[in-house]
Structure 1
Amino acid sequence: MTEQSGASTRVEASPEKRFFIGMLVKDIELLPAILDLVDNSVDGARRLRGDDSYDGLEVKISINAERFEISDNCGGIPLGIAREYAFRFGRPQTVKGTPGSVGLFGVGMKRALFKLGNYFTVDSRAENTHFTLSVDVDEWAQEIDPDWSFSLSHVDENFNPEGNQPRGTQIIVSDLHDTVAEDFASSQTVGNLRYQLRLRHRAAMDRGMRIVLQGEAVTPFTPQLQQSDTVRPLFRERTLNEGDKPVNVKIYAGVTDAGGPEEDDQAELFPRERDAGWYVFCNNRLLIAADRTVLTGWGDGLPVYHPQYRRFRGYVFIDSAYNELLPWNTTKTGVDQDSRVWRKISTEIKDAGVEVIQMLNRVKSERQNTELPDERPIAQALTRAKPVRLGEISPSPRFAYPAPKAVASVRPNMRKIQYSVEKHRYDAVAEALNTTLVAEVGRRTFEFFYRKQVGDDE
């Protein structure tokens, strides 16, 4: 087949804007979109301060059914970056991110803005430049011009802030999408966002950054594990080399004082059960929280999760200046299981979990087979252990705890009795018997019934 003389060989393959916007926001939920905007502020703090303290830096978030606003004093977006990179859909190969930063793919801010509403304004004051960008998404999407650029509504290339005017960025989104407006009107959304912020931006707040939501500072999540002279959490640290690019990995595994009753079949009474599981951080940004799935070995090397494991806590920190090596997806809400780094450490995560699970199984065995505290060395050691921040834990290749006490096998003429009663009725009986031991309550109430209804043994 020969080409016709003068015929065009060009085939149109450019994207349609509305289709592109729809696909861009399809795979991210509302709260992760907001967290992406906070990521940008944290990366700004890293550019501004490096590894120094973030004291004095602040991110403020305000939401309601009419608009969304986030502002910071973390250095702003330099005009050159705004023109060439910040508002492009995807990071050019020639642009290198800040070492150790969270942003990687170059879509977070734009995707979040499109997710939230139909009109947004970005106002940024950097060291010596100031710009404002206002975009009506509907108008921009209707333009058929193949040029996908935005137009700055204000530019000052010789910015000289007066007094103590902060250098930072303010983003306002209005004309919110209907579902976003409904969610922002809900106090539950505010509570969930606060919970996610305290989990996922713990490291920035630990370094001094304040994150304020609806006028109230967020309290950071502080990972801790129980430790004493006889109980020592597992802590392994090593460096993986991907070619000449290092990736640092820290794995902690142990237990916390989860509270709740001794029995395992009353899950509704365990106040902190939802926190049990593995926590994975990449460059100090929490990726997954309280994971109890096959991703971290549950049901694959470990037992399927059960309330008896509610005290389990595991923490994985994966850090690298080469953030393209980190095992996160584009929304930073899940692990890329095809990542070479994740494949190398997933077995270690399962092995660490096995050590803690073995101990918790032995604690349950102590409870089932012994009644006296002295016959429960592991449980007693855990009672004496105190919560310790991860940074205070020394390296330990194994999870250390006292050896279990040898227990005589249950005699064949013995039977175990187990049942559940309402908590207020149990508490009343335990108080009448002057004991806090579940096993003793059961044994003494059985003995009472036996004497009254059956009589003494012959």
Structure 2
Amino acid sequence: MTDSVSASTRVEASPEKRFFIAMLVKDIELLPAILDLVDNSVDGARRLRGDGTYEGLQVRLKVGPDRFEIEDNCGGIPLDVAREYAFRFGRPQSVKGTPGSVGQFGVGMKRALFKLGGHFSVHSKSDNSNFGLDVDVDEWAQTSGADWTFTLSHVDENYKPTRDVDTGTRIVVSKLHDTVAEDFASSQTVGNLRYQLRLRHRDAMDRGMRIILQDEAVTPFIPQLQQSDAVRPLFRQINVNEGQKTVNVKLYAGVSEALGPEGDDQAEDFPREKDAGWYVFCNNRLLIAADRTTLTGWGDGLPVYHPQYRRFRGYVFIDSAYNELLPWNTTKTGVDQDSRVWRRIASEVKQAGLEVVHMLNRVKSERQNTDMPEDRPIAQALSHAREVRLREIRMSARFTYPAPKEPTLRPSMRKIQYSVEKKRYDAVADALNTSAVSEVGRQTFDFFYRNQVGEDD
């Protein structure tokens, strides 16, 4: 085919920069965009130190209505990586990421910078180079044609740091977008950012990294479960294989310490109500926190979440050197439910959840049926258990606790026991959103009493 024929049949399909930028930032919110930048620092620490300690490494963030800054000493960006990959939109197939890293898709840093404002500068020092990049986004977006490159403002290919902590990256974003400037002026936004950093980068901080926001260190979230000789959380390890590649999964499920009143009527009465649910991590980066939706089985195999389950805690750690197998979305704010890996894990999550929910239902039955401590063995065992970090959890394929005791009924109480067809029972249990046999009996009796007998005087 000649050049003239090729030209006559060619259809222009190259992207327009402004449209591309608008689409790139559309599906990510402000705080996840900032977390993407912190992800890069954590990946830098992993390249620098491997799976060891991160002592001496830190990430500093400052936000305000005029500018955003993030600075780390986590190894910097090598010059060849900056030239060939770091500022490209998407990861070339030839580029292999750091095993176990959080970055995968090759869009996080660029998307975050465009999300924040109209001008950004990146200055980085690695073990063999030092470079700077300054970009006015509006000017860059106005240039047309196939040239999508940036130009480095300075380069030093002979830089030699004296220590590894002398290497790192500093990013400053100015000309903030109006909505970003408004959000950064709000103490609530800063508080939410601190909370997200505390949750999502707890592993890096647990290894010794300091994350500092507005000159104040962030304290990490430490997952814990109650454990004793009588109460043992569920802890399972499974492998999910995709061809020759493997995803390793650690699953913990149990309960937290009881705080607040024993009743289960008003959610606002419970100090840690918002913490209940499942926590899912990929390569130690938290994706979802305190999930109580059908994603982790609530209302789909488990009862619909109710405050009586406020002590429930479950943790799923999904790790692989093959990042493409991890079931996260591009913004790392949720799970890809179409992932075959996640579907395999989800069945294990539901089963583990059922074991803990069944115990919590029994605790409620103990409370309703007797006031005698000796007739409440599960509640008594939980009151003597202590919260321990997950690394202290002993291997137990099942959630274990004392067997319930047949309670001694109060003189004014009567026990009702009867059998019904399973199909009819399941239909009633589904309608009542409960898996506890005693709760089904209690609610159906109460319904008959209210409608056929009337309330007590």
| TM-score, scaled to structure 1 | 0.88
CA gap 1:145/1:53 in 2 versus in 1, 3 angstroms:
same
Aligned twin of 1:114: 114
Aligned twin of 1:420: none
Q: Check whether the contact 1:73–1:169 (CA below 8 A) recurs between aligned residues.
A: yes
> For 1:113-138, what per-residue CA distance to the aligned partner results, in whole angstroms no more than 9, with x for missing partners?
00000000000000010110000000
Aligned twin of 1:9: 9
Q: Check whether the contact 1:235–1:251 (CA below 8 A) recurs between aligned residues.
A: yes
Amino acid at match of 1:298: W
Shift in Å, 1:407: 2.9
Aligned twin of 1:135: 135
Amino acid at match of 2:114: F
Q: Check whether the contact 1:36–1:109 (CA below 8 A) recurs between aligned residues.
A: yes
Structure 1 segments (4+ residues) deviating >6 Å: 4-7, 162-165, 409-415
Separation in 1 of the partners of 2:132 and 2:197?
27
Separation in 1 of the partners of 2:16 and 2:302?
48
Specify the SS of the correspondent of 1:8.
helix
> For 1:247-304, what per-residue CA distance to the aligned partner results, in whole angstroms no more than 9, with x for missing partners?
1100000000140111111211101100000000000000100000000000000000
Aligned twin of 1:367: 367
Identity %: 76
Amino acid at match of 2:14: S
CA gap 1:251/1:310 in 2 versus in 1, 3 angstroms:
same
Q: Check whether the contact 2:74–2:165 (CA below 8 A) recurs between aligned residues.
A: no
CA gap 1:92/1:58 in 2 versus in 1, 3 angstroms:
same
1:188-267 superposed matches below 5 A? 188-267=188-267
Shift in Å, 1:375: 1.2
Shift in Å, 1:171: 0.2
CA gap 1:32/1:413 in 2 versus in 1, 3 angstroms:
closer
Aligned twin of 1:88: 88
Separation in 1 of the partners of 2:5 and 2:92?
37
* Paired residue total: 414
CA gap 1:305/1:7 in 2 versus in 1, 3 angstroms:
closer
Aligned twin of 1:100: 100
Amino acid at match of 2:125: R
Q: For the aligned residues, what is the CA RMSD?
A: 1.9
Separation in 2 of the partners of 1:236 and 1:394?
10
CA gap 1:346/1:83 in 2 versus in 1, 3 angstroms:
same
Q: Check whether the contact 1:258–1:270 (CA below 8 A) recurs between aligned residues.
A: no
Aligned twin of 1:377: 377
> For 1:305-361, what per-residue CA distance to the aligned partner results, in whole angstroms no more than 9, with x for missing partners?
000000000000000011110000000000001111101110110000000000000
Separation in 2 of the partners of 1:6 and 1:93?
28
2:171 is the alignment partner of 1:171: yes
Q: Check whether the contact 2:75–2:164 (CA below 8 A) recurs between aligned residues.
A: no
Separation in 2 of the partners of 1:116 and 1:410?
65
CA gap 1:72/1:6 in 2 versus in 1, 3 angstroms:
closer
Amino acid at match of 2:270: F
Shift in Å, 1:236: 0.3
Shift in Å, 1:14: 0.5
CA gap 1:395/1:413 in 2 versus in 1, 3 angstroms:
closer
Q: Check whether the contact 1:377–1:403 (CA below 8 A) recurs between aligned residues.
A: yes
Separation in 2 of the partners of 1:18 and 1:278?
39
Q: Which runs of 5+ in 2 are unaligned?
A: 416-456
Separation in 1 of the partners of 2:404 and 2:164?
63
Aligned twin of 2:26: 26
Q: Check whether the contact 2:31–2:193 (CA below 8 A) recurs between aligned residues.
A: yes
Shift in Å, 1:6: 8.3
Separation in 2 of the partners of 1:160 and 1:261?
61
Q: Check whether the contact 2:61–2:71 (CA below 8 A) recurs between aligned residues.
A: yes
1:209-358 superposed matches below 5 A? 209-358=209-358
Amino acid at match of 2:171: I
Separation in 2 of the partners of 1:290 and 1:16?
40
Q: Check whether the contact 1:278–1:289 (CA below 8 A) recurs between aligned residues.
A: yes
CA gap 1:142/1:350 in 2 versus in 1, 3 angstroms:
same
Amino acid at match of 2:49: R
Q: Check whether the contact 2:118–2:136 (CA below 8 A) recurs between aligned residues.
A: yes
Q: Check whether the contact 1:120–1:171 (CA below 8 A) recurs between aligned residues.
A: yes
Shift in Å, 1:411: 8.4
Shift in Å, 1:162: 6.8
Q: Check whether the contact 2:79–2:130 (CA below 8 A) recurs between aligned residues.
A: yes
CA gap 1:299/1:225 in 2 versus in 1, 3 angstroms:
same
Specify the SS of the correspondent of 1:44.
helix
Separation in 2 of the partners of 1:341 and 1:210?
33
CA gap 1:98/1:241 in 2 versus in 1, 3 angstroms:
same
Aligned twin of 1:428: none
Shift in Å, 1:5: 6.8
1:18-97 superposed matches below 5 A? 18-97=18-97
Separation in 1 of the partners of 2:164 and 2:278?
43
Aligned twin of 1:388: 388
> For 1:33-67, what per-residue CA distance to the aligned partner results, in whole angstroms no more than 9, with x for missing partners?
00000000000001111112110000000000000
Shift in Å, 1:145: 2.7
Shift in Å, 1:395: 1.3
